[in-house]
Amino acid sequence: MLFDLEEIKEDFADFDFIEAYETDTNLEEGKYHVGTASVIRIFAVKK
């Protein structure tokens, strides 16, 4: 993974994280962008 969840939380310290997690998901975004991807999902509100 290019980023670490804790690193992102540090970079966005002025946000309240309601949800933040790492997961694998299946992408189908066109002919050449298909397959499993590791992603970080975030739902946050600026303080």
- The first and second tokens of residue 40, run together, are 């970080």
- pLDDT-derived band at 41 (thresholds 50, 70, 90) equals very high
- What is the reported pLDDT for 38? 93
Instruction: Say if CB 20 and CB 42 are below 8 A apart.
Output: yes
* Count of structural domains within the chain: 1
| Structural domain that includes position 13 | 5-46
**Whether pLDDT at 1 is above 80:** no
Whole-model pTM above 0.85? no
Residue 40 is predicted with a pLDDT of 96
**Gap between the Cα atoms of 20 and 6, Å rounded:** 10
Residues 3-39 pLDDT 10s: 999 999 999 999 999 999 999 999 999 988 899 999 9
Task: Report the pLDDT value the prediction gives residue 21, as an integer from 0 to 100.
Answer: 97
Contact 33, 27 (CB under 8 A): yes
